[in-house]
Structure 1
Amino acid sequence: MKRIIVSVTNDLVTDQRVHKSCTTLFNNGFDILLIGRKLKNSKQLTRSYKTKRIKLYFNKGFLFYAEYNLRVFFILFFLKKDILLANDLDTLLPNYIVSKLLKKKLIYDSHELFTEVPELINRPFQQSFWLFIEKNIFPKLKNIYTVNEEIAKIYSQKYHVKVNVVKNIAPIITNVEINNELYEEIKGKSKMIILQGSGINIDRGAEEAVEMMQYLNGFVLYIIGSGDVIESLKSMAQKLNVTNKVFFKDKMPYENLMEYTKIADLGLSLDKNTNLNYTYSLPNKIFDYVQATTPILASNTKIVSKFIIENKIGYITNTHNPKKLAKIIENIFSDKQQYNIWCKNLKKVAKEFNWENESKKLIKIFKNAN
């Protein structure tokens, strides 16, 4: 049985892409060890595969990355392994060094255009540091996959290597039933809008989503997840006096999250075209909405808008103006015929775009790794 050591920089509980990958590989005969971090608020973890969580002295900035990479290097070096799986650029360096020193296979999963995230594009020193690592390692990799065709094309053209695609698609949620108690508590006489994600950060339209609630009656907005702007969003909700319509929930296990998504009437994806990473992203929340058959209101980013328009499962907006967004939402729910068509189409799309289908590509990559 081949052993794969998987490394990530985050808490393991809510990283669904990594969990799906590890579960799929484990179920297909691989011995899995997933390495991540343990934070002060980390929840208990129960997985079918092995996990190892590292407590770090530093949890942000350069010292965090330095400590994490050093610790992971020694763990990877001394543990038994056949294949190393690095998730994103911030785990690649120790995996690459160990793979070269010990002549082990390395597979790289690039979740995004890492060096183009908004947290880096206005910080040239930090961005140049990660670009240096990327430019010096990426062209030497033999086994790479990423989240969509456009990002794969960008990397392939830039570094002249083959990049496979494994989309971050949600699994079929047959095990998630409507929570009647939750339904009664939330819905009542209101329509429910949801914005979810582990990266609710700047330029993702969350501020405008909170602001638009001033202009909506008979609606509630649930923001579920974590990110850099959560605290400022809470302050904004208080200042705008919409705390009776805007509710915040911390990141939670996937099954619990989908209980909310499944009863939502509209899912938001409002990323702005301020950076290449958002322009070419296809967030996993889109596929969560699909599996929950929740129609989508999305901004006009290249990949998301194409997916929604081609499958006719929601509305694309060219504005982030809060008042105009509120009017769009009112119009969506006044056109019941169109809304029902989206719901019907979502059921069809969910049968095609699910992890059970997409995971076949992942298995092929690992069985053919060189």
Structure 2
Amino acid sequence: MKRILIISFSAIHSDPRVMRQVRLLEGDHRLTVAGYGPRPDADIQFVALERSPARIARKAFWAAKLMLGAFDSYYWNQQQVRSAIAQLGAEKFDLVIANDVSSAPLAFRLAGEAPVMVDAHEYSPREFEDKRLWRMLFGRYINDLCARYLPRAASMTTVCRGIADEYARVYGVKPLVIHNAPVHQHLAPTPVVEGRIRLIHHGAAIRSRHLAVMIEMMGYLDQRFSLDFMLMDSDPAYLLELREAAKGDPRIRFIPPVPMPEICQHLNGYDMGVFLLPPVNFNYEHALPNKFFEFVQACLGVAIGPSPEMANLLRAYECGVVADSFAARSLAASLQQLDTEAVTAFKQASHAAAAELNYERDGERLLSEVARLA
């Protein structure tokens, strides 16, 4: 039985991509997982990492290091990195999986002679390029990590073809694409009620996603349409702004989020999943998120803007509508023309697509890479 270490600077129990790796590998391997938060309910050795303190003076100190280009000093003195080395530095592994570029240097340090697989959840060098301060502090730093560590990886994976191609173009690597799809949920489409089309959007309340565009969209739709937001409270101030923007329309509700394993089951009672994501940075332009696949697994029709990665899959499976632009009025125009028959057909198409767009398919690629490396 091989010893495998998974590292992620995230709350493991609520990180869907990391938890899918855990579920795939637990039982058949001696699995150690290092990250934040409580111990996941899994057959693993869990190593809880300490986070760096969030004091203002401390942040200024780290910012100065980044501005001066002291990248190694910045990295190796972060509390989570030091914590991992203290707890795992004497351990031996057959394979180390680094989730995101931020954990790659640590993965190589802990791996010794063992191979390292880097799973890039996003295109890290341009993740928040729409924010000037992020570009100033982290742009050069993350590019430096990518240039030094990605070519050393025995294997690399990422979430979609557009991001894989950019990593290949800039850093000369060849990432394998493993989608952010959940396991096959084996759900059936729920009936569409005549005269009603129930829309839902779920995810994090992140300001740069411009979620208010979907509130604006409702102003162009007739009374058949309702929209529920099921948002994690990641930015309380922004979530309050969204509630204020929607309070004049009784068709818009904000409902409590459900635990990650229950998302698809909860979505199943709706008709269409909506995600209108303006391409304010590279990752948003090439977004192919968990929620797209969760909409499909929940047997919903899907309504999106012209995001190429999502649009290509949607058109291939004919399971929804793609707006002509990212404007609220444009997606509303695509939705307004739908009737009960069309929405029913979309839900049936997602039901068929769910048999292919699931982690059983993508997990086979990861298992193959693990077998090859370990």
Distance 2:85 2:238 in 1: 36
Q: Mapping of 1:295-314 within 5 angstroms?
A: 295-314=301-320
CA distance in 1, matches of 2:251, 2:54: 33
- Summarize the Cα distance change of 1:157–1:233 in structure 2 as closer, same or farther, 3 Å threshold: same
One-letter code of the match for 1:34? Answer: V
Question: Quick one: which of 105, 119, 123 aligns to 2:115?
Answer: 105
2:201 is aligned to: 195
Helix, strand or coil: the match of 1:221?
A: strand
The residue type equivalent to 1:204 in the other structure is R
Decide whether the 8 Å contact of 1:193 with 1:265 is kept in 2. yes
Q: How far 1:190 sits from its partner (Å)?
A: 5.7
Q: Is the 8 A contact 2:323 2:330 kept in 1?
A: no
The reply to whether residue 54 of structure 1 matches residue 53 of structure 2 is no
For structure 2, list consecutive stretches of 5 or more residues without a partner in the other structure.
64-73
* 1:267 Cα deviation after fit: 0.6
Question: Match for residue 345 of structure 1?
Answer: 349
Conserved 8 A contact 1:26-1:49:
yes
Match in the other structure for 2:135 = 124
State the match for 2:326 in structure 1.
Answer: 320
The Cα shift of 1:229 comes to: 5.1
Match in the other structure for 2:102? 90
Q: Deviations over 1:284-317 (max 9, x none)?
A: 1111111111010111111111111121111011
Residue 299 of structure 2, aligned match among 277, 286, 293: 293
Match for residue 37 of structure 1? 36
Give 1:348's aligned amino acid: A
CA contact (8 A) 2:117 2:156 kept: yes
Q: 1:280 to 1:302 in 2, by over 3 A?
A: same
User: Is it true that 1:168 corresponds to 2:188 in the alignment?
Assistant: no
The counterpart of 1:261, out of the listed 267, 286, 297, is: 267
> AA paired with 2:135?
P
- My pick for the range that moved more, 259-268 or 207-216, is 207-216
Equivalent residues of 1:169, 1:287 under 8 A apart: yes
Q: Which amino acid aligns with 1:70?
A: R
- Report SS of the residue matched to 1:352: coil
Find the aligned partners of 1:234 and 1:190 in 2 and give their Cα distance. 27
Q: Structure 2 CA distance, aligned partners of 1:45 and 1:22?
A: 9
TM-score using structure 1 length: 0.84
Q: Distance in 1 between matches of 2:306 and 2:233?
A: 22
How far off is 1:128 after superposition? 1.2
Post-superposition shift, 1:344? 2.1
CA shift at 1:171, angstroms?
0.8
- Name the aligned partner's letter for residue 328 of structure 2: P
After alignment, is 356-365 or 312-321 more displaced? Answer: 312-321
Superposed CA offset, 1:21-61 (max 9, x none): 1111124x1111222112xxx6x742233323334352596
Distance 1:141 1:214 in 2: 49
Alignment partners' CA distance in 1, 2:251 and 2:201: 13
Pick closer, same or farther for the CA change 1:121–1:239 going to 2, 3 Å: closer
Q: Is the 8 A contact 2:267 2:295 kept in 1?
A: yes
Deviation, 1:327, is 4.2
The alpha-carbon deviation at position 147 of structure 1 amounts to: 1.4
- Percent identical: 19
Match of 2:66 in 1: none
SS of residue matched to 1:13:
helix
Evaluate the alpha carbon distance shift between residue 289 and residue 239 of structure 1 in structure 2; reply closer, same or farther with a 3 A threshold. closer
Shifted more, 285-294 versus 349-358: the winner is 349-358
Relative to structure 1, the CA distance from residue 310 to residue 3 in structure 2 (aligned partners, 3 Å threshold; closer, same or farther) is: same
Q: Report the aligned-residue RMSD.
A: 3.0
Partner residue, 2:67: none
CA displacement, residues 85-121 of structure 1 (integer Å, 9 cap, x when unaligned): 110012112112233xx22221110111012123665
Change (3 A) 1:33 1:260: same
